[in-house]
């Protein structure tokens, strides 16, 4: 009985602490240099796209409001192309792609991305292998060159 009463008292203390934290004395949330004024959901992108001689389609979508460059590449090969008995081969190739080196003693693509990019990721679906890299705009040319 005593342990039940002690547990009940602790529960009441926890509720009191939580309720006290929900009062109107909360601090104003700040998000760095973001201004919390009126915002618009309207966005009309200036999209330019073209096809290179090697059949690669390039799409450029600039946004002057952003200071981040994103390079997205979609290789049109995926798990559906895995040979019989070699399930997972396309996914393995996706992972091995990040181990590529320009020369034997050169850093891997993964190491070069660690320097230039804020982040990168890839995944293998049934019909494609999308790869995404993003960086601050002053590293944009460096991450675009890493694709070549």
54 touches 46 (CB < 8 A): no
β-bridge partners, 48: 60
**Pick from 88, 137, 131: nearest CA to 116:** 137
Establish whether 94 is a catalytic residue: yes
**Pick from 102, 111, 134, 136: nearest CA to 121:** 134
CA distance 135 to 68: 6
- Looking at 94, 99, 145, 147, which residue is catalytic? 94
Both structure tokens of 57: 């389609």
E-state strands within 28-124: 48-51, 57-60, 68-75, 119-122
CA distance 70 to 133: 6
Provide the annotated active-site residues.
94
């Amino acid at each position: 009985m005593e342990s039940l009463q002690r547990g009940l008292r602790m529960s009441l203390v926890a509720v009191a602490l939580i309720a006290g934290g929900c009062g109107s004395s909360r601090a104003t949330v700040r998000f760095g240099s973001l201004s919390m004024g009126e915002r618009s959901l309207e966005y009309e992108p200036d999209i330019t796209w073209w096809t290179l001689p090697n059949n690669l389609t390039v799409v450029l979508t600039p946004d002057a409001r952003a200071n981040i460059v994103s390079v997205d590449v979609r290789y049109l090969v995926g798990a559906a192309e895995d040979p019989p008995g070699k399930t997972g081969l396309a996914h393995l190739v996706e992972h091995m792609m990040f181990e590529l080196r320009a020369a034997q003693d050169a850093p891997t693509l993964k190491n070069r991305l660690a320097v230039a990019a804020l982040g990168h990721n890839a995944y293998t679906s049934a019909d494609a292998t999308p790869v995404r890299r993003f960086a601050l705009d002053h590293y944009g040319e460096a991450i675009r060159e890493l694709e070549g």
